[in-house]
Structure 1
Amino acid sequence: MNQISLLAPGHSGCAGCCDAMAAKFTLMGAGDNCIVVSPTGCLEVMTTPYPETSWDVPWIHSLFENAGAVASGIEAGLKALGKKEKTKVIAMGGDGATLDIGLQAISGAFERGHDFTYVCIDNEAYMNTGVQRSGATPYNASTTTSPAGKVSFGNPRPKKNMPAIIAAHGSPYVATTSLAYPKDMIAKVKKATEIEGPTYIHCHAPCTTGWGFDTSKTVEVAKMAVKTGLWPLYEMENGVVTKVRKLGKVKAPVEDYLKMQRRFKHLFTMEGGEEEIAKIQDIANMNIEEYGL
């Protein structure tokens, strides 16, 4: 396992940036013999302001919508050159580029069975362009396109279950991770890149800017999402859940997690907010039951 950061410091990410941490842990798990594809998003913008780069591995920028297709082409090219066995291909995109805009290309790549690993850095909105709602935005979160107000508690739709979508494609390995547990993420990335076929890692990545918390609290917020059951950590092999991180005897109430973030502040001030918090607690409870947390 490579313990040297292959993402150099000096990028323009925010203090406490989730993307920087997730990218660093991904590269630690994958090692230096890899090629990375990054679609448009915070990670791309902050690490590659022309003519500079923070990447100490080969890196290519794809369009917002086609990271899966570009990764497929790289993998096919390496196979044609006889180099695929030694070089790993990794696509690394945000939730907008993964769950929404890039879903078709990712689906095609997984359906064709290309040998690469896709890592979704999920900060639950389009942070690079102004905190707009994405398919990964959780229920009742306030964003610039799903704002809380007199007639709305925020985003009215549930978070899209991307790991289940990828598992339905027949992926041999799907795992959820959190930047709050780096050893877990590094180990899962390493495992994913060593398995033949299209594999998928979904990393929960709290965004200090879009979520509204102090820059020193990124890891603390991420841990609380796991402790409540709102973000279960598990592995799936060939469509079957094979390992989960247990919560232990004491779980944290979702209220403790929501209070840490400005995007949920309205739930504690608006009439009817208590009932909405209870609905979010139900989501956590369902996760706890479904995954045996």
Structure 2
Amino acid sequence: MKSLLAPGHRGCAGCCDAMAAKFALMGAGEDCIVINPTGCLEVMTTPFPETAWDVPWVHSLFENAAAVGAGVEAALKALGKKENTKVLVMGGDGATLDIGMRSISGAFERGHDLTYVCIDNEAYMNTGVQRSGATPYNASTTTSPSGKVSFGNPRPKKNMPAIMAAHGAPYVATTSIGFPKDMIKKVAKATEIEGPTYIHAHAPCTTGWGFDTSKTVEVAKAAVNTGLWPLYEMEDGEVTKVRKLGKNIKPVEDYLKMQRRFSHLFKMEGGEEEIAKIQAIADKNIEVYGL
């Protein structure tokens, strides 16, 4: 299968965004138009006058990628060219869960035929690892630092897939760059369904999370295998498929120890209790999704 994201971009070694974009394009195919807001993926693939994109690509503002995608979709329909061409919006968690929430909500409420892929590295990595609505509980970022009065981010991760399902999206799915075939398959399925579809891809960031560049896929798999990141599909608001873990479920400590952003939990007084709270989050996912 041809890679539609060319090598030679300026992403970090082990870059999660590059992997996610490559897998998403493999799922969508050559006949697609990509809309990409400001963020790591945009910056490292398109330093003027270069581009790593082998498909038509549009750079939007941080906050309006879904609105631009909706405009592209409407234009294709007006020109009679929408039948086979997929409109693929790819944004980070900041551009999706926070800054772009209004335009995403509008595009989905209006029923535009597009697929939105959130590449979730759980913070604003491009601008200095600031906390986002996708930052997990107790993670240390530059705007939610761990220290004498804080264990890190005090708020739970926003459940964006549930929000998009509540918009009446016919297809919503979670995936992870640690499971390429799963991501490719889900993006392919999403782009073939008429209407607004949503894919939320977990994407560990070597720079912001603090792990060796060779460990990106290993960290991604650990998030899934602990139950902290369940893989599932939703159709018309109902969970229809779940990746079962069975007896292979790992304790969250195995995942947390791999990352510098959680290292304080193993050093600070009261850290054990906080790790137990994170384990409770995984345990609830295991119960709710029947992992």
- TM-score bin (small chain): over 0.9
The residue that corresponds to 1:150 in the other structure is 148
Partner of 1:134: 132
Cross-structure match for 1:173: 171
Gaps of 5+ in 1: none
Determine the C-alpha separation between the residues in 1 that align with 2:87 and 2:234.
20
Q: Shift in Å at residue 12 of structure 1? A: 0.3
- In the other structure, the counterpart of 1:105 is 103
Residue of structure 2 equivalent to 1:51: 49
1:146-202 deviation digits (Å, cap 9, x = unpaired)? 000001000000000000000000000000000000000000000000000000000
Amino acid at match of 2:152: G
Q: What code does the residue aligned with 1:199 have?
A: T
- Report the Cα distance in structure 2 between the residues aligned to 1:209 and 1:269, rounded to whole angstroms: 21
2:13 to 12, 15, 19: 15
Q: Name the structure 2 match of 1:188.
A: 186
Q: Which residue among 223, 235, 241 is the counterpart of 1:225?
A: 223
Q: Percent of aligned pairs with the same residue?
A: 85
Q: Alignment partner of 2:246: what SS?
A: coil
AA in 2 matched with 1:155: N
Out of 182, 197, 200, the residue aligned to residue 198 of structure 2 is 200
Return the match for 2:160 from 142, 162, 168.
Answer: 162
Letter in 1 for 2:234: M
The runs of at least 4 consecutive aligned structure 1 residues that moved more than 3 Å come to none
Q: AA paired with 1:132?
A: Q
Q: Distance in 2 between matches of 1:232 and 1:4?
A: 29
For structure 2, which runs of at least 5 residues remain unmatched after alignment? none
C-alpha distance in structure 2 between counterparts of 1:85 and 1:237, whole Å: 22
Name the structure 2 match of 1:30. 28
TM-score (norm 2): 1.00
Give the C-alpha shift of residue 248 in structure 1. Answer: 1.5
Q: How far did 1:249 drift?
A: 1.3
Deviations 1:200-223 (A, max 9, x none): 000000000000000000000000
CA distance in 2, matches of 1:236, 1:86: 24
Q: Deviations over 1:86-107 (max 9, x none)?
A: 1000000000000000000000
User: TM-score, normalised on structure 1?
Assistant: 0.99
The offset of 1:237, in angstroms, is 0.1
Report the secondary structure of 2:244's partner residue. coil
Query: Which of 60, 79, 85 matches 2:83?
Result: 85
SS at match of 1:152: coil
Rounded to whole Å, the distance in 1 between the matches of 2:234 and 2:248 is 25
**Hey, what's the Cα distance between the residues in 2 that align with 1:29 and 1:225?**
23
CA distance, structure 1, for counterparts of residue 228 and residue 25 of structure 2: 26
The structural deviation recorded for 1:250 is 2.8
Cα distance, 1:10 vs structure 2: 0.3
- Per the alignment, residue 257 of structure 2 pairs with 259
For 2:7 and 2:227, locate their aligned partners in 1 and report how far apart those are by CA, in whole Å: 33
RMSD: 0.3
**Number of residue pairs matched?**
291
Aligned equivalents of 1:250 and 1:14: distance in 2? 31
Matched, 1:210 2:208: yes
2:11 partner letter:
G
Question: Counterpart of 1:269?
Answer: 267
Q: Tell me, in whole angstroms, the C-alpha distance in 2 between the residues paired with 1:137 and 1:215.
A: 20
Q: d(CA) in 2 for partners of 1:250 and 1:191?
A: 27
The code of the aligned residue for 1:222 comes to A
Q: Per the alignment, in what secondary structure is the counterpart of residue 34 of structure 2? A: strand
Is the partner of 1:129 in helix, strand or coil?
A: coil
- Match of 1:151, SS state, is coil
Residue 236 (1) aligns with residue 234 (2): yes
